[in-house]
Amino acid sequence: MKGGESLTTEEFERLLEIYGNDIYSFCLNIMHNRANAEDLYQDTVLTAFRKADQIDLSENPRSYLISVAVKLSHNYFRKEKRRNERTASSSPEEIDNISDNTDVQSDVEESALESALRKVVSELDWKYRIPVVLYYFDEQDLAYISGIMKIPKGTVKSRLHKAREIIAEKLKQEGYENG
């Protein structure tokens, strides 16, 4: 809506029907575990609902919802970093590795590599993790990511490049030479 007109509850619910799974998937891909992803998703929905007058249905409401999640995740990671610095202990990681593979070893190896990749991505600093998730998992272009993160396209490219280097090195340390 434009001009400070707020969405009706029905319109907002319709947005969640359309984009809710995308937003949840994004949250799940950038957070360390499912519980944190669910918290981020709920915070995103609540924040977006409170700011419903800023959602323009003629624009890209999905982009707006993702940008809310990005901003909230940034705050979450900052708080987590401060908390970890104070306690000097790492937060536990919960890696979901749900696999129904009944095929041969190549499927098992592929699943293990995917699990290792998701683990490495989940350990990236948020400024690298968000572009990686948006670009590789969400298949968004550089301009979209630039707009969401409010950074230049060149910075997005630079962060993706650095993230690939970090990921390759960590996968190599895990024994995936061609990672």
Write down the pLDDT at residue 45: 93
Q: Residue 162 pLDDT > 90, yes or no?
A: yes
> Torsion angle of alpha carbons 84, 41, 26, 143, nearest 10°?
-100
Write down the pLDDT at residue 99: 39
Tens of pLDDT, residue by residue over 121-131, are 888 888 999 99
Q: Which of 58, 54, 61 is nearest to 6 (CA)?
A: 54
Q: Which of 40-44, 59-63, 78-82 has the lowest mean pLDDT?
A: 78-82
Tens of pLDDT, residue by residue over 139-161, are 889 999 998 888 999 999 999 99
Q: Which residues of 115-154 are buried (b: 16+ CB within 10 A; e: fewer)?
A: ebbbbbbbebebebbbbbbbbbebebebebbbbbbeeeee
Task: Sketch out the chain's domains with CATH numbers.
Answer: 1-91 (1.10.1740.10), 102-179 (1.10.10.10)
Q: Residue 176 pLDDT > 80, yes or no?
A: no
Stretch 155-172: mean pLDDT: 92
Pairwise CA distance, residues 5 & 48, whole Å: 14
Write down the pLDDT at residue 178: 58
